[in-house]
Structure 1
Amino acid sequence: MTTFTIGSTYHGFLLQKKEAIPEIHSTAFLFTHTVLGCQALAIKNQDINKTFCVSFMTVPEDSTGVAHILEHSVLMGSQKYPVKDVFGEIHKGGLMTFLNAMTGSDTTWYPFATRNLKEYFNIMDVYCDVVFNPLLLRSTFEQEGWHYHLEKNEDQLQYMGVVFNEMKGAYSDPIRALFHNIYQGLMPESTYAHESGGNPRCIPDLTYEQFVAFHRSHYHPSNCTLFFYGDAPLEEELAFVQQRFLAQFTEPVPKAGIKEGVETTAPRFITDTYPVQPGSPTEQRSFLAISSTVGTVHDRKRNAAFQIIANILFNSDGSPLKKAIINASLCKDFGGVFLANTAHKTFMVTYLIGTDPEKRDHFLALYKATLTRMVEQQLDRDLVLSELNKHEFTVREEMNKAQRGLDLINKALPALKYEMSPFAALRMEELLAEIRKEATENGYFEQLIRTFLLDNPATVTVTLAPDPEKMAENVRQEQQQLETFALSLTKESRLQLVQRTKELMALQATPTSLEDLHRLPRLSLDDLDRQPPFHAVLPSSLGTETELLINDLDTNGICYLDFGLDCSSLPVHLLPYLDLFATILTEIGTAKKDYMQFAKAINLCTGDFSHSFQVYVRADDQTRVRPILWLHMKALSGYLAQALDLLTEVLTSVDFSDIHHIEEIVQREFAWAEHAAQSEGYSLAATRTFSHLSRAGQYHEYVQGMHAYLHLKQLAGNYPAQETALYDALGQIRDLLFRRQGLIVAITAEDRDIRNFQELGLSVVQGLPDLPLQPVHPRFAQPPASQAFKTSAEVVFNVQACTLFPDIRQYNGSFEVLRTWLSRDYLWNTVRQMGGAYGCFIRFNHLTGNFGMVSYRDPQVKKTYEAYEALPTVVNELKSIPTELLQQLIIGAYGSATPHQGPAAQGAAARNDYLSGITPVFRQQRIEEMIQTSAQDLQAFAPLFNQLQTTRYRSTIGNGEKIEHDKDLFSEITEL
């Protein structure tokens, strides 16, 4: 084993510094390449989840999205691997626990993680080749970026491209517009005033030549940073990248640098609009924000302090600022965030959601007055301590993340790209102790608030108002651009455009040759562990009756607690209130504590108090359905007793008497639900579609789906008339759920903390009334089979589902192999690459046999449904699937079935398995069936997909014009 010495060179890399960092259980090494000048940071420890990343400074000079399009495009083939979709191919058949590429405001990075050492070096080879030696074909630019699309001479010309449609979806989100205006206001004429992801109005300005030139100027090794994490041999990693890639470059080039722009020296005011549905109301749908520059990424201590200050001011219900803004009836919700790593400058953002433009001056005056009062009277000590505790808990819990390497890389990357010490970025304990001392003894937070939020001229205020005509105006401008181009075409050039479109479609439909596919480094079936470990809960009891599910795992001293309340006794009219009930329950307070005191108490002794809803179907009896509302609490072992006392207080004396705050919660929840429905509504469409298929699906529809959304919309819009019904529902749900019968408890923790919980947790159970559970059988209304919902989004989300296995005994592990092919091959190629959608994924429940497909940020409606309904034919053709491809699909399915999880996720998965009757034996059987899968096994599933055409359960949500164009596909169309 190599002993690394500072000042020595290893395979072209000079070791500048190494340091043991106990708080992350790692030793970090910083190298500089002696010829090219690029840096490499290695974080070495015993983590088997090895992580590699290569990143580049990619500094935009406009908003054409060139860095984003390039991120997509380099993954579409390289000199060594001339495969038309390298990313898709390696994703199809690997064990990677993480595989992605991301574009930030000034950086593009390519990380992956795997537990398999052979695969680690395989993918490292692929990733380095695609970034340093990509093919960058014109057809790739057209597919991933944009092109003029004209399939027939008589068709209407349109723009098409994956990134173009992705960013159309992104620009449907007003929050994105709000923050883009903040960037432009605080950093005018800088790198960060541009949209690195690409503005859909600007993307068609990008030429192929500019695209290629950007790679040439930004993807040289001198402009990159390398990261290695985990237990792989460091000397082998350095030798690998040097010998295979860096050695071919003999001269350094200047590194890309950011443009600082003009300093903001006086307050600025910006007004902008965002699109909403034509004819829809505009009252209380505006956004207001005030943002102030705090410093730069170099101000490490100040930035860490402002992360905590942001929680004090915005995220805690104990915040006087939050209370003042909400009580003044200025908005439906109030919040804020401190942005420390998105640009060279750092800044604080305070925003209002669901407001009106004319309230701006009142908001600004109240903001200043309240902050001034908080500073002059000093921050509430308990509030400060609670947020310090919560922040330190968050830092502690980071050690439990499954993708720990990726998290540490994200911490170190800003330091390296802005020429700071990555070692300091990886250490937090000493800095947090210093901040705690100064905040509690020297008024440190108050000083920062006064200097950077009250007396700071570098401030921008943004007003973003809804515009019912903007959507039509955007369409008109795009059509005008296209018509202008179309008029410039001669008859011959128009026919050439049709021919080019057909050529591109033919290229997209042509599979990569087996010869080229064989060039990709692969694992074989022999590399798989035929008997992977599966964690299972240990069933026990809390007292004599309450079921306790134990997960004895290494959690770094954190206890993860789940208290499950059986919802079988809730009648159908109460179900749409359930999610709102749980939200109110975790915030409203008790007979002893109002909501502000309760918020401080929660953060003092826990890391979180939240809820979720799940419906369990038994593997041995699909007719048995168990809906459970989970209350989740996590706490350090030293605070376990206090956390359980607080939970007991909630369950025995929750107080719904604060009618004003409950109305605030209702309006806030609807504001965010409406925002999600308008910009990213695919989950509502999916839940609505799956509600046709099972009782579990009906429960989800009524609690979390479109039915619940429309119920919340009515409640928020007619609150005075609905208030009595809400309070009656809250009381009824409390009385029906808070009882010992039907309660189930789960804990994920270390052995000593589990034993402690078994003594302390009994008091929680004993605080509940010992009443019998009385299940009811709700009668759910059935929605239309095919339905569309029109929103202000510029794209759509298409969902189609069916009961694929009416007899669940037909399901076996081979279907997981087919599922891998469907999602990573067929749908990826057909809906994404050929159709232009940003993505398409599958939802499948192997206990109910229910199967569905969901397209994401899709420009198509009819074409996507045609792709869905072609499944019987395309699956039948798998009888001739090449053996090599089948083996890769098996490996990909195996990887999905054996995920890498942190202790919290591992415990939750084991809990869910137990409640569904899934055992390690069951999972092992599926693994064996996967590995033994044949082409005939895949083909045998083909007839089952006829159900898609027989039932046609489908939902589309999104752009109204696209829906109207294909309105014959739906029996009902509704405006949201």
Structure 2
Amino acid sequence: MQEFEKIDISSSAVPLQERWTEPRAIEHTYDCGSEGDPSNKFMTTLNWMLTPMDQTEPEKILALTVLSQLLLSTSASPLRKALTDSGLGEDIVGGGLETDLRQMSFSVGMKGLTEENVAKVQELIEETLTQLSKEGVPQTLMESCLNTLEFRLRENNTGRFPRGLSLMIASLSTWLHESDPLVPLRFEEPLMKLKEKLAAGESVFEDLIRENFLTNPHKAAVTMIPDPKYAEKEAAIEQERIDKVAKAASREELEEIVEMTQRLKEKQAKPDDPAELAKIPYLSKEDLDKNMKTVPFEEDQISGATVYHHPLPTSGVVYMDLGLDISGVSMELLPLMSLYTESLTQLGTKKEDFVSLQQRIGRETGGLRPSTYMSQLVAADGNGPVVSMLMIRAKTMSSKTTQTFDLLKDILLEPNFDNKERFRQLVVEEKAGVESGIAPSGHTVAAGRLRSQYRVGDWATEQMEGLAYLDYVKALLERVDNDWEGVLRDLRALHSAVVHRSKLVCNVTTDSDVYPGVKAELKSFLDSLPEKSSLELPSWIDQAPTPTPANEGFIIPAQVNYVGKAMNLLDAGYELTGASALAAKHLGTSYLWDTVRVQGGAYGGFCRLDMRTGDFLYLSYRDPNVNKTLTNYDGAGAFLKSHDISEEELTKSIIGMIGDMDSYALPDAKGFASMTRKITGETDELRQERREQVLGATAKDF
């Protein structure tokens, strides 16, 4: 800290917003796009301002956190369920409790509404909260939410984000307002007090609902009104403003604007001063570990399944990954996989409905989530055999391993797909989710489309997640209404084709002394599964079309673009090494950063190189340009060829690349990554070879 001077922070206080004495209604128009019927694109939320973070007891903040989870976090949550079951709209909006600002807030609503349903949604929210305050919160729901929250607090799983930084950011909610920064981190005492009150039968959550929602006058009912011509109107207003300024400006003022613009472009294009860059401290190559980090593991065969155990310290938490082979699924059924995986935990079983199942998952585990996993074996030509699985990831305390395996048995052996209305809800929510994700994440959509044109596995991912999947979901919604028996047959056929232990892979990451008990439970579980598929179907892998590159363009309701361009380097005859990945990384942080972002005005410009498949992609994020960006992409080769990279730049790129290779990971992530490397044939020897290629890279590799 010796480089910094103390500053006066006496004026840093954030003033409190004055509380309202009565609710308000607010309406805004928004750009809903020119496609489709705008009459069912209304959105509405009810929003309450709560108490300031720094003036609220920690126990109450924790109770509000549990209440938010209780109301909205799962499909079994009463407020979410009431809104979903109503059929008034397509999906839930509003994030529940917000604690990042000084004054907490709570927001909930729906999108995909007709105008007449706006008021109905607002009334339903009020009615549901009133009913809960009077009739009370079910005991099983409280237990489920409390267990989920306590598991999350004790596990403190921050993913790839360093725990230390996560704790620091959490402390800012009070620290920024000159209160104790440790208050948000101390959860033991508030949790104990909350449990004691609930055990004593106190109406904690019912009282919170009345105090913060039902009798709180600081409430805003916000309605977003769709306007297909919104963008056109905004453009006209902006043009009118520009014309007004231009007309009023003198010749000298206009020349000054031109001159300022030219100076800005020159500054954007000018390289950073090497003398200034040299002031930034950085590591040297000698500081880097020469050896790739490995994860200890044991491999076993249990009841015909391949089992990996990663003995890592997890404080008694058991992380389990089950990979069921889906190569036996037909091409016709493949797009249904995403909704099928969701149905396993969202439709219930023959023993219990989906509400009870969701509460049971919350009570007895720290999370259980099925999804699809798609990759391919490592091969010299980048076109190895596809690895495709239904991946079920679960985590639980070692004391609840038996209950977790019992859950898995019920989900996989006794599913109930018969609930037409509930499945229809899932389809409607899926459609809304995919549609709403396109505009803010267009670069991801573009990447998926580009990849699907080169490798069969990526083509399959597009069918299950991308724009092709959206088309399928729209058609599926009609099928649910007009041919439910056919949809039901497809779900059951998928289940028969997927649930068996042939080619099954299991991964367990936990403490060494915990694993023997888990292993015994695992064997009993595996023995309960069918030995092989009960339904023989032609494999989608054999039926899939040969991917063919093609240029595409899609229009979305947004004022920015997402521009992608790709080719497969291995197909073009290029031999990839670790240094190739290094060159791609440098390209993204230098040339593409300068031309696409700094000079072009996009929020992001970058490239991706998949060392396994050979796919190389250029992508831009929230980009005002199209053709200019494509031109910049085309100039990247000349840049690399002529760029005289200094030893300092090269060293920084190497340090960044090694940082990516050694990125922060917690035990569950380490175990899962190790398992995926095993099943795709990415050996430690290959990883070490690539590391050495990065460390030994020279300007010639660029």
Cα deviation for residue 336 of structure 1 reads 4.9
Paired residue for 2:610? Answer: 845
- Equivalence for 1:827: 592
Matching residue within 116, 123, 130 for 1:358: 116
**Greater alpha carbon shift after TM alignment, 737-746 vs 775-784:** 775-784
Match of 2:564 among 764, 778, 799: 799
The equivalent of 2:26 in structure 1 is: 270
- Note if 1:452 corresponds to 2:212: yes
Q: CA contact under 8 A between 1:684 and 1:705: conserved in structure 2?
A: yes
Q: Alignment partner of 2:332: what SS?
A: helix
Task: Give 1:656 shift.
Answer: 0.5
Deviation string, structure 1 residues 179-214 (Cα, Å, up to 9, x no partner): xxxxxxxxxxxxxxxxxxxxxxxxxxxxxxxxxxxx
Equivalent in 650, 653, 672 of residue 908 of structure 1: 672
2:334 aligned partner: 575
Distance in 2 (CA, whole Å) between partners of 1:766 and 1:566 is: 17
Q: 1:495 to 1:369 in 2, by over 3 A?
A: closer
**2:44 paired with 1:288:** yes
Separation in 2, partners of 1:279, 1:909: 42
Distance 1:329 1:399, change over 3 A: closer
Deviation at 1:809, TM superposition (A): 7.8
* Deviation per residue, 1:27-86 (Å, 9 max, x gap): xxxxxxxxxxxxxxxxxxxxxxxxxxxxxxxxxxxxxxxxxxxxxxxxxxxxxxxxxxxx
Q: Which residue of 2 aligns with 1:539?
A: 299
Partners of 1:397 and 1:755 in 2: CA distance: 22
Measure, in 2, the Cα distance between the counterparts of 1:921 and 1:858.
Answer: 40
Instruction: Pick the aligned partner of 2:318 from 559, 566, 587.
Output: 559
* Contact 2:373-2:390 within 8 A present in 1 as well: yes
Distance 1:414 1:721, change over 3 A: same
**1:519 lines up with 2:519 in the alignment:** no
> Hey, what's the Cα distance between the residues in 2 that align with 1:936 and 1:246?
44
Q: Give, in whole Å, the separation in 2 of the partners of 1:781 and 1:530.
A: 41
The alpha-carbon deviation at position 260 of structure 1 amounts to 2.4
What residue in structure 2 maps to residue 762 of structure 1?
Answer: 523
Structure 2 residue aligned with 1:863? 628
Q: Which runs of 5+ in 2 are unaligned?
A: none
> Could you tell me which amino acid in structure 1 is paired with residue 106 of structure 2?
M
Which of the numbers 129, 138, 143 marks the counterpart of 1:371? 129
SS at match of 1:797: coil
Structure 1 residues 925-934 or 800-809, which shifts more?
800-809
Residue in 2 that maps onto 1:143? none
1:500 aligns with 2:264: no
Q: CA deviation at 1:394?
A: 0.9
Which of 233, 242, 249 lines up with 1:473 in the alignment? Answer: 233
Matching residue's letter, 1:582 = T
Give a deviation string over 1:406-457, Cα, whole Å, max 9, x none: 1111221121122322232221012112112213421211111122222222
Instruction: Provide Cα deviations, 1:536-572, integer angstroms capped at 9, x if missing partner.
Output: 54322233x1011222212232211111121111121
SS in 2 for 1:343: coil
Larger mean CA deviation between 414-423 and 573-582 belongs to: 414-423
- Extract unaligned runs of 5+ from structure 1: 1-240, 939-976
Q: Which amino acid aligns with 2:701?
A: D
Are the aligned partners of 2:605 and 2:620 in contact in 1 as well (CA < 8 Å)? yes
- 2:580 and 2:650 mapped to 1: Cα distance? 12
What's the CA shift for 1:614? Answer: 2.3
Query: In structure 2, what residue type is equivalent to 1:376?
Result: K
| 8 Å contact kept, 2:13–2:177 | no
Contact preservation (8 Å) 1:619, 1:847: yes
Deviation at 1:838, TM superposition (A): 0.6
What SS does the aligned partner of 2:46 have?
Answer: strand
Shift of the alpha carbon at 1:643?
1.0
Q: Kindly, what percent of the aligned residue pairs are identical? A: 26
Match of 1:680 in 2: 441
**Match for residue 885 of structure 1 among 637, 645, 649:** 649
Does 1:610 pair with 2:372? no
Tell me, yes or no, if the aligned pair for 2:607 and 2:617 is still in contact at 8 Å. yes
Deviation at 1:372, TM superposition (A): 2.5
Kept in 1: contact 2:90–2:428 (CA 8 A): yes
Partner amino acid, structure 1, of 2:512: D
Instruction: Name the amino acid aligned to 1:570.
Output: V
| Aligned CA-pair RMSD | 2.1
Partner SS for 1:806: coil
Higher relative contact order (CA 8 A, sep 6+): 2
The answer to whether residue 469 in structure 2 is matched with residue 704 in structure 1 is no
Q: Does 1:924 align with 2:688?
A: yes
Q: 1:253 & 1:374 partners in 2: Cα distance?
A: 44
1:550 aligns with 2:320: no
Matches within 5 A, 1:214-233: none
Query: Residue 934 of structure 1 aligns to which amino acid in structure 2?
Result: T
8 Å contact 2:454–2:547 — kept in the other structure?
no
What secondary structure does 2:384 align onto?
strand
- Greater shift after overlay, 755-764 or 253-262? 253-262
Matches within 5 A, 1:235-246: 241=1, 243-246=2-5
Residue from 299, 309, 322 that aligns with 2:67? 309
How far residue 754 of structure 1 moved from its aligned partner, in angstroms, is 2.1
Partners in 2 of 1:352 and 1:801 — Cα distance? 38
DSSP 3-state at the match of 1:246: coil
The Cα of 1:323 is off from its aligned counterpart by 2.9
Following the alignment from structure 2 to structure 1, what is the Cα–Cα distance between the partners of residues 39 and 198?
A: 41
Measured in 2, the distance between the counterparts of 1:603 and 1:657 equals 23
**What is the deviation of 1:797?**
0.7
Query: Structure 1 residues 926 and 778, CA, compared in 2 at 3 Å: closer, same or farther?
Result: same
Q: Tell me how far 1:487 sits from its aligned partner.
A: 2.4
Alpha-carbon deviation of 1:289? 1.1
Q: CA deviation at 1:741?
A: 0.8
What corresponds to 2:173 in structure 1? 414
**8 A contact 1:565–1:744 mirrored in 2:** yes
Contact in 2 for aligned 1:276/1:791 (Cα 8 Å): no
> Quick check: 255-264 or 643-652, which moved more?
255-264
What is the distance in 2 between the residues matched to 1:481 and 1:336?
A: 34
1:206 maps to which residue? none
Q: TM-score, normalised by structure 1?
A: 0.68
Cα distance in 2 between the residues matched to 1:277 and 1:336:
21
Residue 403 of structure 1 aligns with which residue? 162
Alpha-carbon distance in 1 for matches of 2:225, 2:526: 50
Shift of 1:808: 7.8
SS at match of 2:295: coil
What SS does structure 2 have at the residue aligned with 1:586? helix
Residues 640 and 353 (structure 1 numbering): CA distance in 2 closer, same or farther, change over 3 Å?
A: farther
SS in 2 for 1:909: helix
Match of 2:697 in 1: 933
Residue of structure 1 in register with 2:413 after alignment: 652
2:197 alignment partner, SS class = helix
Q: Deviations over 1:746-800 (max 9, x none)?
A: 1121113322221101232222211258745122376771111111111111111
Contact 2:581–2:609 (CA under 8 A) maintained in structure 1? no
Contact 1:310 1:336 (8 Å CA) reproduced: no
CA separation of 1:443 and 1:819: change in aligned 2, threshold 3 A = same
Q: Does 2:244 align with 1:484? A: yes
Q: Secondary structure at the match of 2:81?
A: helix
Give me the whole-angstrom Cα distance separating, in 2, the residues matched to 1:869 and 1:561: 45
**8 Å CA contact retained: 2:43, 2:118:** no
Q: 1:307 to 1:935 in 2, by over 3 A?
A: same
TM-fit CA distance, 1:655: 0.3
Match of 2:474 in 1: 713
* SS of match in other structure, 2:168: helix
Normalised by the length of structure 2, the TM-score is 0.94
Q: What residue number does 1:258 align with?
A: 14
Say if 1:801 and 1:467 are closer, same or farther in 2 by CA, change over 3 A: same
Residue type of the partner of 1:323? Answer: K
Aligned to 1:586: 345
